[in-house]
Amino acid sequence: MRRVAIVSAVRTGIGKYGGQWVRTPSEQLAAAVIKEAVARAGVDPAEIEDVVMGNLHAHHGNHARIASLTAGLPLEAGAVTVDRQCGSGSQAIIYAALNIAAGYGDVMVACGVEHMTLNPYQVTKVPNYSYAPPQFLTNRVSTDEAGNPPFAMTADILGKRLGITRQACDEWAFHSQQRAARAISEGLFKEQIVPVEVKTKAGLKSIVTDECVRMDASLEKMAQLPPLFEGGLTTAGNACPRSDGAAAVVLMSEERAKALGLEPLGYFKTFAAAGLDPNIMGYGPVPSTRKALQRAGLTVKDLDVVELNEAFAPQVVPCVRDLGLDPERTNPNGGAIAFGHPLGGTGVILTVKLLYEMLRRDYELGLVTMCIGGGQGLATIFERR
């Protein structure tokens, strides 16, 4: 198996639901990061053999192809869209990396995008002979037999089962907001964010903002928020907000990177997926991370930094505890509770953040991991050198 390098990594600012990207279609967000990632890599677009995109909901079939062509990539570049729910972005990176490692290509783009503001509705198809109006479909990611509760409810089930307190959840959420606000104030994301122009009444405006972060978050105010479900742990303050965003990375074989004289941001090392009870889907990072570490011959103590997707604090807190992660090195610049979780884009967004943090601090090993609706977890390990 060949070693796979990541030679560029970029993302958009993450917009809040109905916010800065409300008039910018998802293919334009994806095209912006694809175009910039290829430009920063310094490769001829004709070398791009495939574009792998993570996305859950779009207005088009094979959204990757639409975004690829919108970005100006050649007609000859392939494109495919994958859906592993919240892990779709990471899965895009994994598929591209595995193809290159196995020799089925030298240069590929992996990207992820989700526009939750503009995601289309899904309705049932009405037979021609029926006069009944179509019905909106509910989001099914599991079967009724296995369990298909609302995602926030699964966090409550998990948190209560594992003895997590509301205070611990609110404290984690508060620190996530604090870390995000500090990182923004220190300009830590400037290099990784691609400016995207949007039309406003005043003319074109270049957007680079992470819009969801609460710069003045208050632990006292969080504690006063009611739970989403009676007697539960999850609130609007300790759950990730709906959001819009995109990210992309360029991957290539180590041999090709050397031939082009490129200095990689990092290297793909290994990954692991795991399934579990859908009713406690938020615990997915635990079995998937353990599998990935075992495959790599590592322990949790070998990890220098971790990006663990913060779907809901009641699932993050037990995952950090039970994996034995260092809280100070887990989401050091804030997580999805602060920034938002643009579903299919999140895995790539977290990878971009991880790679730049590893570069900034000269870290050697990093992990991206997340829970996945329907009862799964996904973990990916990267190395610096």
**Sequence letter at residue 244:** D
pLDDT number for residue 129 = 66
CATH code of the domain in which 81 resides: 3.40.47.10
Q: pTM value?
A: 0.97
The proportion of the chain whose per-residue pLDDT surpasses 70, expressed as a percent, equals 99
If one counts the domains in the chain, the total is 1
Domain presence at residue 151? no
pLDDT number for residue 138 = 78
- Tell me which of 111, 212, 240, 371 is the catalytic residue: 371
Domain presence at residue 377? yes
Which of 255, 266, 249 is CA-nearest to residue 5? 266
266-275 vs 196-200, strand pairing mode:
unpaired
pLDDT number for residue 110 = 99
Around Cβ 281, how many Cβ atoms within 10 Å? 29
Residue 235 predicted with pLDDT over 80 = yes
Q: How would residue 34 be classed by pLDDT, with cut points 50, 70 and 90?
A: very high
Q: What are phi and psi of 10, to 5 degrees?
A: -145, 165
Domain presence at residue 184? no
Distance CA 173, CA 64 (A): 33
pLDDT number for residue 366 = 99
Residue 162 predicted with pLDDT over 70 = yes
pLDDT number for residue 60 = 87
The proportion of the chain whose per-residue pLDDT surpasses 90, expressed as a percent, equals 90
Domain presence at residue 180? no
Domain presence at residue 173? no
- Enumerate residues 6+ apart whose C-beta is below 8 A from 104: none
Instruction: Tell me the pLDDT tens digit for each residue of 276-333.
Output: 999 999 999 999 999 999 999 999 999 999 999 999 999 999 999 999 999 999 999 9
Q: Is 212 a catalytic residue?
A: no
Instruction: Tell me the pLDDT tens digit for each residue of 166-211.
Output: 999 999 999 999 999 999 999 999 999 999 999 888 889 999 999 9
Instruction: Tell me the pLDDT tens digit for each residue of 121-133.
Output: 888 877 766 677 7
pLDDT number for residue 199 = 85
Strand-pair partners of 54: 82, 112
Q: Is 86 a catalytic residue?
A: yes
Q: How would residue 224 be classed by pLDDT, with cut points 50, 70 and 90?
A: very high
pLDDT number for residue 203 = 86
- Tell me which of 57, 63, 175, 341 is the catalytic residue: 341
Q: What is the mean pLDDT of residues 263-273?
A: 99
Domain that holds residue 349: 4-119+240-383
Q: Is 341 a catalytic residue?
A: yes
Per-chain mean pLDDT for the chain:
97
Domain presence at residue 94? yes
- Tell me which of 57, 63, 86, 212 is the catalytic residue: 86
Domain presence at residue 47? yes
Instruction: Tell me the pLDDT tens digit for each residue of 105-156.
Output: 999 999 999 999 999 988 887 776 667 777 888 778 889 888 888 999 999 9
Domain presence at residue 115? yes
Residue 355 predicted with pLDDT over 90 = yes
Residue-wise over 124-152: b if at least 16 C-beta within 10 A, else e? Answer: eeeeeeeeeeeeeeeeebbeeeebbbebb
pLDDT number for residue 264 = 98
- Enumerate residues 6+ apart whose C-beta is below 8 A from 355: 6, 9, 249, 265, 266, 366, 382
